[in-house]
Amino acid sequence: MAWFRPICVTMRSSASLLLRKPVQALTMIIFFAIAFSMLSTMRRRFSPRKSTLGDPSDCNFPAIFNFGDSNSDTGGKSAAFHRLPSPNGDTFFHKPSGRYCDGKVILDFIAENLSLPYVGAYLDSIGANFRRGANFATGGSTIQHVDTKIFGAGFSPISLEIQLLQFKQFKARTDELFKEATSSYVKTSLPRPEDFSKALYSLDIGQNDLHAGLKSMTEEQLKGSFPDITSMLAWTVKELYQLGARTFWIHNTGPIGCLPYSVIHFPPKRENMDKNGCVKSQNEVAMEFNRLLKQRVSQLRVELPDAVLTYVDIYSAKYSLISQAKKLGFGDPLGYCCGHYGDHYVQCGKKATVNGTEVVGNACSDPSVYISWDGVHYSHSANKWVAHQILDGSLSDPPISITQASLSLSLSQSLVLAKTSPCKFPAIFNFGDSNSDTGGLSAVFGQARPPHGESYFRRPVGRYCDGRLIVDFIAESFGLQYLSAYLDSVGSNFTHGANFATAGSTIRPQNTTLRQSGFSPISLDVQWNEFYDFHNRSQTTRQKGGVFRSLLPKAEDFSSALYTFDIGQNDLTAGYFLNMTTSEVRAYIPDVLNQFKNVVKYIYGQGGRYFWIHNTGPFGCLPYVLDRLPLTPAQIDKAGCAIPFNEVARFFNYGLKEVVVQLRKELPLAAITYVDVYSAKYAIISQPKKHGFKETLRACCGHGGKYNYNRNIGCGGKIKVHGKEILIGKPCNDPSVWVNWDGVHYSQAANKAIFDQIVGGSLSDPPIPLEMACHRTKAHS
Element (H, E) at 672: strand 671-675
Phi, psi of 759 (to 5 degrees): -65, -30
The CA–CA distances, whole Å, from 753 to 198, 627, 690 equal: 37, 25, 11
Opening angle at CA 684, ends 681 and 687, nearest 5: 135
Report the distance separating Cα 773 and Cα 759, nearest Å: 10
Report the distance separating Cα 85 and Cα 333, nearest Å: 25
The conformational region for residue 505 under phi > 0 = left, psi -120 to 50 = alpha, else beta, is beta
Phi, psi of 738 (to 5 degrees): -110, 135
Report the distance separating Cα 270 and Cα 183, nearest Å: 64
Q: Which of 235, 236, 211 is nearest to 222 (CA)?
A: 211
- The C-alpha torsion from 181 through 184 and 188 to 190, rounded to 10°, is -40
777 with 18: CB under 8 angstroms? Answer: no
Element (H, E) at 697: strand 695-699
| pLDDT reported for residue 326 | 95
Q: Which residues pair with 725 in a beta bridge?
A: 720
428-780 maps to which CATH number? 3.40.50.1110
Element (H, E) at 322: helix 314-323
Opening angle at CA 253, ends 306 and 406, nearest 5: 30
| Per-residue 3-state assignment (H helix, E strand, C coil) for 29-44 | HHHHHHHHHHHHHHHH
Q: What share of the chain is helix, strand, coil (3-state, %, to 5)?
A: 45, 10, 45
Burial classification of residue 644, based on how many CB atoms lie within 10 Å of its CB (0-12 exposed, 13-18 middle, 19 or more buried):
middle
406 with 7: CB under 8 angstroms? Answer: yes
Query: How does DSSP assign 483-548, residue by residue?
Result: PPBTT--SS---TTEEE---TT--SSPPSS-HHHHS--S--HHHHHHHHHHHHHHHHHHHTT-GGG
Q: Which of 494, 590, 492, 578 is nearest to 537 (CA)?
A: 494
Report the distance separating Cα 559 and Cα 561, nearest Å: 6
Instruction: Please tell me if the domain spanning 63-417 has the same topology as the one spanning 428-780.
Output: yes
Q: Which of 97, 262, 406, 434 is catalytic?
A: 434
The CA–CA distances, whole Å, from 350 to 82, 92, 98 equal: 12, 20, 15
Report the distance separating Cα 397 and Cα 406, nearest Å: 14
Q: Which of 340, 535, 745, 775 is catalytic?
A: 745
664 with 778: CB under 8 angstroms? Answer: no
| pLDDT reported for residue 83 | 87
Report the distance separating Cα 745 and Cα 469, nearest Å: 10
Q: Which residues pair with 499 in a beta bridge?
A: 430, 485
The CA–CA distances, whole Å, from 483 to 435, 469, 587, 686, 771 equal: 14, 11, 35, 31, 18
470 with 756: CB under 8 angstroms? Answer: no
| pLDDT reported for residue 515 | 66
Q: Please say if 397 is a catalytic residue.
A: no
Q: Please say if 251 is a catalytic residue.
A: no
Report the distance separating Cα 352 and Cα 346, nearest Å: 6
Other C-beta atoms lying within 10 Å of the C-beta of residue 34:
16
Burial classification of residue 458, based on how many CB atoms lie within 10 Å of its CB (0-12 exposed, 13-18 middle, 19 or more buried):
exposed
Query: How does DSSP assign 368-403, residue by residue?
Result: GG-SBSSSSSB-HHHHHHHHHHHHTSTTEES---GG
Report the distance separating Cα 98 and Cα 221, nearest Å: 34
| pLDDT reported for residue 52 | 29
Mapped onto helix, strand or coil, the DSSP state of residue 312 is: strand
Is the entire prediction scored with pTM above 0.75?
A: no
Query: Strands (DSSP E) along 392-478, which ranges?
Result: 396-397, 428-432
* CA 329 to chain centroid: 28
Query: Strands (DSSP E) along 380-512, which ranges?
Result: 396-397, 428-432, 497-499
Residues of the chain with pLDDT under 70: 1-59, 147-153, 182, 341-344, 404-420, 513-517, 777-781
Report the distance separating Cα 116 and Cα 183, nearest Å: 24
Strands 247-251 and 396-397: unpaired
Terminal-to-terminal C-alpha distance of the chain: 23
Domain range summary for the chain, segments of one domain joined by +: 63-417, 428-780
Report the distance separating Cα 613 and Cα 396, nearest Å: 18
Q: Does 63-417 carry CATH code 1.20.120.790?
A: no
Query: How does DSSP assign 264-308, residue by residue?
Result: HHSPPPGGGB-TTS-BHHHHHHHHHHHHHHHHHHHHHHHH-TT-E
Q: Residue 336 carries which DSSP code? A: B
Q: Which residues pair with 67 in a beta bridge?
A: 203
310 with 248: CB under 8 angstroms? Answer: yes
Report the distance separating Cα 86 and Cα 103, nearest Å: 11
Q: Which of 90, 433, 566, 742 is catalytic?
A: 742
Q: Please say if 742 is a catalytic residue.
A: yes
Burial classification of residue 553, based on how many CB atoms lie within 10 Å of its CB (0-12 exposed, 13-18 middle, 19 or more buried):
buried
